Amino acid sequence: MSDSPPHPLGLAGRHVLITGAGGGIGRAMVAAFAGAGAIVSGADQDAAMLAELPLAHRLVFDLTDAKASADAFANLAEAGAAPHVLVNNAGFTRGETLDQVDETVWERELAINLTGAFHISKPVAESMARRGGGAIVFIASVNGLGHYGNPAYSAAKAGLIAYAKSIAVEMGEKGIRANVVCPGSVRTPAWDHRLAKDPAILEDVISHYPLGRMVRPEDVANATLFLASPLSAGITGAVLPVDGGLTAGNLRFVRDIIERRA
Ligand SMILES: NC(=O)c1ccc[n+]([C@@H]2O[C@H](COP(=O)([O-])OP(=O)(O)OC[C@H]3O[C@@H](n4cnc5c(N)ncnc54)[C@H](O)[C@@H]3O)[C@@H](O)[C@H]2O)c1
């Protein structure tokens, strides 16, 4: 028997499935949950993204494919790793403004960011209900709370918030909690295409953030750990911005309009 005290987050030995595990935030989540003693499975669309990660199970499939998602969950359950915790973290956007959003962009961004989360959450939530409980955390965005560009992605992220609340309300009596994390700007590969166009963009980003910095992948991972753990046992249907204060108010308005004339 080990003399070490139980891990305070209460996630030791729990099965956790993280989608988009090979991305910038996903990698920080894998490290955080593994550090809390959880048994972590990672899903992504490309096996190479998962290769180096300390995962118990690697699930390679496209979340926009309903059958592939159901099959991946069935295989995981058969391996004895049906999740106690699901983190819906995979996401993607390229349609920056309304003029870039045509039918194709709209459908693709809704499919990846909203319908993809549904494809995996439905079988996982049903299995959690059979087992008597579980926790689901959706990684939405500040874009689901207000408009910061990327209209189709934003609509999908707002949809995730509504979907999480429906699980919280309808499945609460089954012991299932569903909560949402809304990150602000995080320097991950998701920013590479913007940085390629303008290497100075991150300095401009920072000037919008009351904390004077971008959000770190670890900030998102830590908030997710909390919402996945028994420490948040009384919290469901909640929407938690992890945004360096971006949605608390308009810093540039205060600086440019109020302070300058005070
Ligand atoms: N980086 C930011 O500034 C930021 C801000 C707010 C919210 N978010 C959200 O955080 C989450 C993680 O973002 P990130 O910055 O780590 O991005 P990332 O691009 O580094 O990682 C996203 C991961 O999702 C995977 N993925 C995308 N489409 C998929 C599909 N159809 N099937 C399976 N896997 C798929 C990708 O392969 C990738 O590994 C996303 O939901 C994103 O919308 C990011």
pLDDT in tens, 136-145: 999 999 999 9
Across 231-237, average pLDDT: 98
Structural domain of 131: 15-189+216-247
pLDDT at site 220: 98
Residues of the chain above pLDDT 90, percent: 96
- Residue 183: what residue type? P
For the cut 70, the answer to whether the pLDDT of residue 2 exceeds it is: no
pLDDT at site 1: 52
For the cut 80, the answer to whether the pLDDT of residue 4 exceeds it is: no
The pLDDT mean for the chain works out to 97
CA distance 43 to 69: 10
Atom 25 (ligand 1) nearest CA: 20
Between 260 and 18, the more confident residue is 18
The residue among 186, 114, 117 whose CA lies nearest residue 157 is 114
**What does the block give as tokens for 10?**
């209460």
| Residue 39 maps to a domain | yes
**What does the block give as tokens for 111?**
């499919």
HEC string for the chain? CCCCCCCCCCCCCCEEEEECCCCHHHHHHHHHHHHCCCEEEEEECCHHHHCCCCCCEEEECCCCCHHHHHHHHHHHHHCCCCCCEEEECCCCCCCCCHHHCCHHHHHHHHHHHHHHHHHHHHHHHHHHHHHCCEEEEEECCHHHCCCCCCHHHHHHHHHHHHHHHHHHHHHHHHCEEEEEEEECCECCHHHHHHHHHCCCHHHHHHCCCCCCCCECHHHHHHHHHHHHCHHHCCCCCCEEEECCCHHHCCHHHHHHHHHHHC
What strands lie across the sheet with 134-139, from one edge to the other? 57-60, 39-44, 15-19, 85-88, 134-139, 176-183, 239-242
Q: Which of 4-13, 41-50, 246-255 has the lowest mean pLDDT?
A: 4-13
pLDDT at site 7: 82
Atom 18 (ligand 1) nearest CA: 23
Instruction: Give the nearest ligand 1 atom to 46 CA.
Output: 37
- The pLDDT tens digits for 10-51 are 999 999 999 999 999 999 999 999 999 999 999 999 999 999
From the candidates 67, 122, 148, 157, give the one annotated as an active-site residue: 157
| Residue 196 maps to a domain | no
Does 62 sit in the ligand 1 pocket, CB within 6 Å?
Answer: yes
Strand 39-44 and strand 57-60: the pairing is parallel
**What does the block give as tokens for 30?**
């894998």
Does 20 sit in the ligand 1 pocket, CB within 6 Å?
Answer: yes
| Residue 63 maps to a domain | yes
**What does the block give as tokens for 130?**
């059979």
pLDDT at site 202: 94
For the cut 70, the answer to whether the pLDDT of residue 240 exceeds it is: yes
CATH of the domain at 173: 3.40.50.720
For the cut 90, the answer to whether the pLDDT of residue 116 exceeds it is: yes
Does 189 sit in the ligand 1 pocket, CB within 6 Å?
Answer: yes
Between 3 and 235, the more confident residue is 235
| Residue 225 maps to a domain | yes
Ligand 1 pocket test, candidate residues 46, 58, 89, 220, most atoms within 8 A of CB: 89
For the cut 90, the answer to whether the pLDDT of residue 169 exceeds it is: yes
Active site residue 148: no
Identify the sign of the CA torsion 215, 54, 122, 174.
negative
The residue among 166, 17, 25 whose CA lies nearest residue 82 is 17
| Residue 107 maps to a domain | yes
Ligand 1 centroid to Cα of residue 89, in Å, is 6
CA distance 86 to 68: 17
CA distance 176 to 168: 7
From the candidates 148, 153, 197, 209, give the one annotated as an active-site residue: 153
Active site residue 174: no
What band does 135 get if pLDDT is binned at 50, 70 and 90? very high
pLDDT at site 111: 98
Instruction: Give the nearest ligand 1 atom to 27 CA.
Output: 16
| Residue 3 maps to a domain | no
| Residue 152 maps to a domain | yes
Quote the number of domains for the chain.
1
| Residue 209 maps to a domain | no
pLDDT at site 162: 99
